[in-house]
A and B are shown apart, each in its own frame.
Chain A
């Protein structure tokens, strides 16, 4: 598995790794890349609704998107000897996330020998109007 990740990473094909993850297909995560770096997309789906009154995406799915985006950001950005393992995360829910394309991007705040601190935010139309943000720790060694 580690070899596969290393290969996909060096060929810049983390979307292929994403395609191998059943849960990513289950909720609808895509991995893309733009000029800044890895961008994780949650595709709209009626199955992801968690609030029927306003038609909002389930907060747990938004949490999962933030975790997924943070992991893939780390896979892309840092050299690690193991698959980053999430230690914890703290999510702030900022605005209702309606059922449309939702993007998430991570940024490494501090990388230590064993632990990395990552910030990640999710938005819909405007990256400057996040629907949720989180900070998380991952073990990387």
Chain B
């Protein structure tokens, strides 16, 4: 059962303009872990010869998820800024298959949250990308904005 501020983080992230445009959805968020999914679309293709999604799509998916997971790692919820992100592109991204991701924050302190994540399409045992990122923690996650 996730805490109310964690649901709020999930809602705010899913409502970001670029996440809306991509159709990116954080499906589960717990303290320090989460999952994401994305429906493939023809506009996201980067390699027309092989019908692969652009590698930037999985970069965005993983950056979004890692940021949300870093925010949720702090018991009070915090806003975070990406310091760095290292991504291994393991397989081409089939433009006919849904994209999934999972992340966990394996360490955090008052300044930095450290997150690992991976993405897959057909099976979780066949990752298409993996990444590790660090995030600077800032203020408390703001309970303002447009929660209807």
Q: Is A92 an interface residue (CB 8 A)?
A: yes
- Kindly state the separation between the CA atoms of A25 and B41 in the bound complex, as whole angstroms: 13
Known: A64-B54, A64-B56. A91 touches B86 (CB 8 A): yes
Q: Are B86 and A89 in contact, CB atoms less than 8 angstroms apart?
A: yes
Closest to A17 in B: B48
Count, chain B residues at interface, CB 8 A: 38
Q: How far is the CB of B45 from chain A (nearest CB, A)?
A: 5
Chain A contact residues, majority secondary structure: mixed
Q: Beta-carbon contacts of B54-98 to A below 8 Å, as 1s and 0s?
A: 111101111110010000000000010111111111000000000
Stretch of B1-9, B14-22, B108-116, B119-127 at the chain-chain interface: B14-22
Q: Is A86 an interface residue (CB 8 A)?
A: yes
Known: A27-B56, A58-B63, A61-B18. A83 touches B87 (CB 8 A): no
Is the interface on chain A under 10, 10 to 19, 20 to 34, or 35 or more residues?
Answer: 35 or more
Beta-carbon contacts under 8 Å, A52-95 to B: 52-53, 57-61, 63-65, 67-68, 83, 85-93
Could you write out 18 A-B pairs with CB less than 8 Å apart? A20-B48, A22-B48, A24-B54, A48-B18, A49-B16, A49-B17, A49-B18, A51-B16, A59-B63, A59-B85, A63-B85, A64-B59, A65-B56, A89-B89, A90-B86, A90-B87, A91-B85, A92-B83
